[in-house]
């Protein structure tokens, strides 16, 4: 049960989280929209960019989505020449995803806007705030501290 005395602060934290996420994704969303893409495409590009040659099943695990949910966006990125799909040498059934040069440029453009944003915020708030923020994000990434 949530401490009723803390409820207003916690509700405000939820609101700030929503507003911060909206601000954090706004510029990348604009860039993606110009290309007929959305946030799911950004996540796919980002994680393939961090893990070139990643198998589709590994990407699905990272993203926490089903094959059905990711299939359309991945095919779209391949069709646009932003992602390539090769096969593993040890097992031709395994599809390996990598960014093309154009995909790498788009991913860099999207991520650079977010890197600059975080760098400015962390510079303004200081190392202690950055460390605290990262600690909160890591805890939330592990599904929080649910009972």
Determine, yes or no, domain membership for 137: yes
**84, β-bridge pairs:** 98
Domain extent for 32: 7-141
pLDDT 10s digits, 32-43: 999 999 999 999
Alpha carbon distance 20, 111 (integer Å): 16
Q: What is the mean pLDDT of the chain?
A: 93
The pLDDT, as a whole number, for residue 143 is: 67
The yes-or-no verdict on residue 145 having pLDDT over 70 is no
DSSP letter assigned to residue 67: H
DSSP letter assigned to residue 92: T
The yes-or-no verdict on residue 1 having pLDDT over 90 is no
The pLDDT, as a whole number, for residue 141 is: 86
pLDDT-derived band at 117 (thresholds 50, 70, 90) equals: very high
Determine, yes or no, domain membership for 57: yes
Determine, yes or no, domain membership for 98: yes
User: Which of left, alpha, beta for 3 (phi over 0: left; psi -120 to 50: alpha)?
Assistant: beta
pLDDT-derived band at 146 (thresholds 50, 70, 90) equals: low
The single residue listed with the structure tokens 């708030």 is 125
Please report, rounded to a whole number, the percentage of residues in the chain having pLDDT higher than 90.
84
pLDDT-derived band at 4 (thresholds 50, 70, 90) equals: confident
Determine, yes or no, domain membership for 29: yes
pLDDT-derived band at 98 (thresholds 50, 70, 90) equals: very high
Determine, yes or no, domain membership for 2: no
pLDDT 10s digits, 47-92: 999 999 999 999 999 999 999 999 999 999 999 999 999 998 888 8
The total number of structural domains that make up the chain? 1
Look up the CATH number of the domain holding residue 60: 1.10.10.10
């Amino acid at each position: 049960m949530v401490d009723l005395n803390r409820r207003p602060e916690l509700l405000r934290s939820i609101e700030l989280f929503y507003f911060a996420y909206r601000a954090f994704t706004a510029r990348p969303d604009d860039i993606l929209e110009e290309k007929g893409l959305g946030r799911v495409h950004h996540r796919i590009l980002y994680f393939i960019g961090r893990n070139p040659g990643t198998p589709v099943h590994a990407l699905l695990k990272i993203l926490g989505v089903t094959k059905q949910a990711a299939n359309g966006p991945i095919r779209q990125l391949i069709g646009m020449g932003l992602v390539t799909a090769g096969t593993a040498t040890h097992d031709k059934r395994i599809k390996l995803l990598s960014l093309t040069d154009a995909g790498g440029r788009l991913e860099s453009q999207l991520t650079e806007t977010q890197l600059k944003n975080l760098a400015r915020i962390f510079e303004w708030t200081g190392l202690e705030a950055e460390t605290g923020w990262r600690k909160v994000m890591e805890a939330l990434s592990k599904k929080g501290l649910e009972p």
